[in-house]
Amino acid sequence: MARTPLLLAYDGECSVCAKRADWIQARDRQGLLVLFPLQHPELVHMAPELAGQQLHGELHGLDLVSRTVYRGPSLLPEILSRLGWPWRFFAPLFRIKALARMAAWVVLKRDERRFQRQFR
């Protein structure tokens, strides 16, 4: 299990992204997740590995010890493994790429439906 801090870069101007960041932060009892909005001026200094990448529209993670960059479905088990009980027990399941992609698809579809309901 990962016990190193993970920096999460998200779009602070996106309401969906901000809600996800709030959800994650509320469950981070061990303080292993460092959340930074893309608009924060210190992000470039904290995570130069993210420079030049298309960051909008997708959550990105950076292991602050190994300096490994995660995005998309590969980021989900990294987040879960740092959240602690009960979330960390799901992390190994989502290391299976097919399950991680399915979970990402379900979340995206759910968010699409919520977004469409707002404008009806």
Reported pTM:
0.80
pLDDT value, residue 16: 80
Query: Minimal CA–CA distance to 59: which of 98, 94, 108?
Result: 108
The confidence score (pLDDT) of residue 54 equals: 74
Burial (CB count <10 Å: 0-12, 13-18, 19+), residue 61: buried
| Cis peptide leading into residue 41 (ω within 30°) | no
Structure tokens at 60: 């990105």
**Bigger pLDDT: 13 vs 120:** 13
**89, amino acid identity:** F
Average pLDDT over residues 1-21: 85
Q: How confident is the model at residue 49 (pLDDT cuts 50, 70, 90)?
A: very high
Q: Decide if pLDDT at 25 tops 90.
A: yes
pLDDT at 119: 62
Residue with the two structure tokens 């299990």: 1
12 contacts: CB under 8 Å, gap ≥ 6: 18, 21, 37, 38, 39, 40
pLDDT tens readout for residues 53-70: 777 777 899 999 999 999
Contact 69, 50 (CB under 8 A): yes
Q: Give the mean pLDDT of 77-98.
A: 89
